[in-house]
A and B are shown apart, each in its own frame.
Chain A
Amino acid sequence: GAGVSQSPSNKVTEKGKDVELRCDPISGHTALYWYRQSLGQGLEFLIYFQGNSAPDKSGLPSDRFSAERTGGSVSTLTIQRTQQEDSAVYLCASSPLGTTTPNEQYFGPGTRLTVT
Protein backbone atom coordinates (compact mmCIF):
# COMPACT_ATOMS: atom_id res chain seq x y z
CA GLY A 1 0.00 0.00 0.00
CA ALA A 2 0.91 3.66 -0.14
CA GLY A 3 3.37 4.95 2.39
CA VAL A 4 3.56 8.33 4.07
CA SER A 5 3.71 11.13 1.55
CA GLN A 6 4.83 14.71 2.03
CA SER A 7 4.60 17.79 -0.11
CA PRO A 8 6.32 19.74 -1.37
CA SER A 9 9.56 17.78 -1.54
CA ASN A 10 11.54 21.02 -1.66
CA LYS A 11 10.58 24.53 -0.64
CA VAL A 12 12.66 27.68 -0.96
CA THR A 13 11.23 30.75 0.70
CA GLU A 14 12.34 34.21 1.66
CA LYS A 15 12.92 35.15 5.26
CA GLY A 16 9.73 36.46 6.83
CA LYS A 17 7.34 34.50 4.62
CA ASP A 18 4.93 31.85 5.91
CA VAL A 19 5.14 28.25 4.68
CA GLU A 20 2.84 25.25 4.89
CA LEU A 21 4.10 21.69 4.74
CA ARG A 22 1.73 18.80 4.15
CA CYS A 23 1.73 15.20 5.33
CA ASP A 24 -0.51 12.36 4.20
CA PRO A 25 -0.11 9.47 6.67
CA ILE A 26 -0.72 5.80 5.99
CA SER A 27 -4.44 5.11 5.93
CA GLY A 28 -5.70 3.88 9.29
CA HIS A 29 -2.71 5.10 11.28
CA THR A 30 -3.97 7.10 14.23
CA ALA A 31 -0.65 8.54 15.41
CA LEU A 32 1.15 11.24 13.42
CA TYR A 33 4.44 12.95 14.19
CA TRP A 34 6.44 15.87 12.88
CA TYR A 35 10.22 16.04 13.24
CA ARG A 36 12.91 18.42 12.08
CA GLN A 37 16.35 17.26 10.94
CA SER A 38 19.15 19.72 10.42
CA LEU A 39 22.20 18.78 8.37
CA GLY A 40 24.14 16.03 10.11
CA GLN A 41 21.85 16.09 13.11
CA GLY A 42 19.36 13.68 14.59
CA LEU A 43 15.63 14.04 14.47
CA GLU A 44 14.19 16.77 16.65
CA PHE A 45 10.64 16.01 17.83
CA LEU A 46 8.17 18.79 17.09
CA ILE A 47 4.58 17.61 17.62
CA TYR A 48 2.56 14.40 18.02
CA PHE A 49 -1.11 13.71 17.25
CA GLN A 50 -2.84 10.61 18.64
CA GLY A 51 -6.43 10.01 17.60
CA ASN A 52 -8.80 12.58 19.01
CA SER A 53 -6.56 13.47 21.95
CA ALA A 54 -5.03 16.90 22.36
CA PRO A 55 -1.71 17.01 20.47
CA ASP A 56 1.61 16.94 22.28
CA LYS A 57 3.17 20.24 21.21
CA SER A 58 6.07 20.11 23.62
CA GLY A 59 8.70 20.07 20.85
CA LEU A 60 7.60 23.14 18.91
CA PRO A 61 10.55 25.57 19.08
CA SER A 62 8.53 28.79 19.06
CA ASP A 63 5.02 30.13 18.63
CA ARG A 64 5.80 30.65 14.95
CA PHE A 65 5.30 26.90 14.52
CA SER A 66 1.87 25.29 14.53
CA ALA A 67 0.29 22.13 13.16
CA GLU A 68 -3.15 20.81 12.47
CA ARG A 69 -4.53 17.41 11.68
CA THR A 70 -7.87 17.46 9.93
CA GLY A 71 -10.28 14.56 10.12
CA GLY A 72 -7.70 12.39 11.81
CA SER A 73 -5.74 12.10 8.58
CA VAL A 74 -3.86 14.80 6.68
CA SER A 75 -1.66 17.14 8.69
CA THR A 76 -0.25 20.57 7.91
CA LEU A 77 2.77 22.11 9.63
CA THR A 78 2.80 25.89 9.36
CA ILE A 79 5.83 28.07 10.00
CA GLN A 80 5.10 31.79 10.19
CA ARG A 81 7.62 34.55 9.56
CA THR A 82 10.31 32.04 8.59
CA GLN A 83 13.89 32.57 9.76
CA GLN A 84 17.10 31.20 8.28
CA GLU A 85 17.52 28.87 11.25
CA ASP A 86 14.27 27.18 10.21
CA SER A 87 16.11 25.70 7.21
CA ALA A 88 16.05 21.92 7.65
CA VAL A 89 14.35 18.77 6.45
CA TYR A 90 10.91 18.37 7.98
CA LEU A 91 9.89 14.74 8.37
CA CYS A 92 6.46 13.35 9.03
CA ALA A 93 5.79 9.86 10.40
CA SER A 94 2.69 7.85 11.19
CA SER A 95 2.13 4.86 13.43
CA PRO A 96 -0.67 2.33 13.89
CA LEU A 97 -3.19 2.41 16.71
CA GLY A 98 -1.75 1.68 20.12
CA THR A 99 -1.29 3.60 23.33
CA THR A 100 -0.29 0.65 25.46
CA THR A 101 2.15 -1.09 23.17
CA PRO A 102 5.06 0.45 21.29
CA ASN A 103 4.77 0.81 17.53
CA GLU A 104 7.31 1.51 14.87
CA GLN A 105 7.03 4.77 12.99
CA TYR A 106 6.73 4.98 9.21
CA PHE A 107 8.40 8.03 7.78
CA GLY A 108 7.74 10.09 4.70
CA PRO A 109 10.55 11.32 2.44
CA GLY A 110 10.59 14.75 4.07
CA THR A 111 10.31 18.34 2.87
CA ARG A 112 13.57 20.21 2.50
CA LEU A 113 12.97 23.80 3.54
CA THR A 114 15.48 26.49 2.64
CA VAL A 115 14.99 30.01 3.96
CA THR A 116 17.00 32.62 2.09
Chain B
Amino acid sequence: SQKIEQNSEALNIQEGKTATLTCNYTNYSPAYLQWYRQDPGRGPVFLLLIRENEKEKRKERLKVTFDTTLKQSLFHITASQPADSATYLCALSSGGYNKLIFGAGTRLAVHP
Protein backbone atom coordinates (compact mmCIF):
# COMPACT_ATOMS: atom_id res chain seq x y z
CA SER B 1 0.00 0.00 0.00
CA GLN B 2 1.03 3.62 -0.46
CA LYS B 3 2.99 5.01 2.45
CA ILE B 4 4.54 8.39 3.35
CA GLU B 5 7.05 8.65 6.17
CA GLN B 6 8.25 11.77 7.94
CA ASN B 7 10.39 11.83 11.06
CA SER B 8 7.96 11.43 13.92
CA GLU B 9 10.40 12.81 16.45
CA ALA B 10 10.75 16.55 16.80
CA LEU B 11 13.78 18.19 15.27
CA ASN B 12 15.53 20.59 17.63
CA ILE B 13 18.11 22.96 16.20
CA GLN B 14 19.92 26.13 17.14
CA GLU B 15 18.96 29.45 15.62
CA GLY B 16 21.00 30.24 12.53
CA LYS B 17 21.58 26.61 11.61
CA THR B 18 20.07 24.81 8.63
CA ALA B 19 17.11 22.56 9.36
CA THR B 20 16.67 19.52 7.13
CA LEU B 21 13.43 17.55 7.14
CA THR B 22 12.90 14.28 5.32
CA CYS B 23 9.92 12.83 3.49
CA ASN B 24 10.15 9.26 2.21
CA TYR B 25 7.49 7.42 0.27
CA THR B 26 6.87 3.90 -1.00
CA ASN B 27 4.57 2.40 -3.61
CA TYR B 28 4.08 5.80 -5.17
CA SER B 29 5.04 7.57 -8.34
CA PRO B 30 3.81 11.06 -7.56
CA ALA B 31 3.75 13.63 -10.32
CA TYR B 32 4.53 16.35 -7.79
CA LEU B 33 5.11 16.99 -4.13
CA GLN B 34 4.17 19.88 -1.85
CA TRP B 35 5.35 21.08 1.54
CA TYR B 36 3.09 22.82 4.05
CA ARG B 37 3.63 24.48 7.41
CA GLN B 38 1.16 23.99 10.24
CA ASP B 39 1.08 25.99 13.47
CA PRO B 40 -0.83 24.73 16.54
CA GLY B 41 -4.58 25.24 16.21
CA ARG B 42 -4.36 26.36 12.59
CA GLY B 43 -4.77 24.86 9.16
CA PRO B 44 -1.71 24.05 7.03
CA VAL B 45 -0.18 26.80 4.88
CA PHE B 46 1.33 26.05 1.48
CA LEU B 47 5.09 26.63 1.14
CA LEU B 48 6.53 25.01 -1.97
CA LEU B 49 5.63 22.70 -4.85
CA ILE B 50 8.10 20.60 -6.83
CA ARG B 51 7.36 18.47 -9.88
CA GLU B 52 8.78 15.03 -10.62
CA ASN B 53 11.03 16.41 -13.38
CA GLU B 54 12.52 19.07 -11.07
CA LYS B 55 15.47 18.24 -8.85
CA GLU B 56 15.39 21.32 -6.67
CA LYS B 57 13.19 24.32 -5.90
CA ARG B 58 14.04 27.40 -3.84
CA LYS B 59 12.04 30.17 -2.23
CA GLU B 60 13.85 32.65 -0.01
CA ARG B 61 15.38 30.60 2.85
CA LEU B 62 13.57 27.42 1.79
CA LYS B 63 14.85 24.69 -0.49
CA VAL B 64 13.17 21.46 -1.54
CA THR B 65 14.72 18.54 -3.38
CA PHE B 66 12.89 15.66 -5.02
CA ASP B 67 14.70 12.40 -5.79
CA THR B 68 12.33 10.02 -7.58
CA THR B 69 14.95 7.26 -7.58
CA LEU B 70 15.40 7.34 -3.81
CA LYS B 71 11.68 8.18 -3.41
CA GLN B 72 12.61 11.00 -1.10
CA SER B 73 12.18 14.73 -0.67
CA LEU B 74 14.32 16.90 1.56
CA PHE B 75 13.11 20.24 2.91
CA HIS B 76 15.76 22.71 4.06
CA ILE B 77 15.40 25.96 6.01
CA THR B 78 18.61 27.94 6.04
CA ALA B 79 19.49 30.53 8.69
CA SER B 80 16.66 29.16 10.81
CA GLN B 81 14.80 31.43 13.22
CA PRO B 82 12.61 30.68 16.26
CA ALA B 83 9.65 31.86 14.14
CA ASP B 84 10.26 28.83 11.89
CA SER B 85 9.18 26.55 14.72
CA ALA B 86 6.13 24.63 13.50
CA THR B 87 5.09 21.27 12.08
CA TYR B 88 6.01 20.71 8.45
CA LEU B 89 3.92 18.38 6.30
CA CYS B 90 4.83 16.84 2.98
CA ALA B 91 2.06 15.92 0.56
CA LEU B 92 2.21 13.82 -2.59
CA SER B 93 -0.12 13.86 -5.55
CA SER B 94 -2.27 10.80 -5.88
CA GLY B 95 -4.64 9.92 -8.68
CA GLY B 96 -4.65 13.27 -10.41
CA TYR B 97 -3.40 16.79 -10.21
CA ASN B 98 -5.59 17.97 -7.41
CA LYS B 99 -5.62 15.12 -4.90
CA LEU B 100 -2.97 15.05 -2.18
CA ILE B 101 -1.94 12.45 0.37
CA PHE B 102 -0.30 13.99 3.45
CA GLY B 103 2.41 12.69 5.71
CA ALA B 104 2.04 12.94 9.48
CA GLY B 105 4.48 15.86 9.67
CA THR B 106 7.68 16.66 11.53
CA ARG B 107 7.74 19.17 14.34
CA LEU B 108 10.63 21.63 14.15
CA ALA B 109 11.76 23.62 17.18
CA VAL B 110 14.35 26.36 16.63
CA HIS B 111 15.99 27.50 19.83
CA PRO B 112 17.52 30.96 20.30
Contacts and interface: CB of A to CB of B under 8 A. Distances in A.
A110 B105 contact: no
Contacts of B80: none
A84 interface: no
Nearest to B100: A105
A42 B89 contact: yes
A40 B6 CA distance: 12
Q: For this complex, into which size category does the number of interface residues on chain A fall?
A: 20 to 34
Contacts, number: 60
Contacts of A56: 99
A75 interface: no
A90 B42 CA distance: 11
Interface of A: 4, 31, 35, 40-43, 45, 48, 50, 56, 91, 93, 95, 98-110
Given A43-B102, A48-B99, 20 more contacts: A4-B43, A31-B98, A42-B89, A42-B102, A42-B103, A42-B104, A43-B89, A50-B98, A99-B98, A102-B32, A102-B51, A102-B98, A104-B34, A104-B46, A104-B49, A105-B46, A105-B100, A108-B43, A109-B41, A109-B42
14 contacts: A41-B104, A42-B89, A42-B103, A42-B104, A42-B105, A45-B99, A45-B101, A50-B98, A95-B98, A102-B32, A102-B51, A102-B97, A102-B98, A105-B44
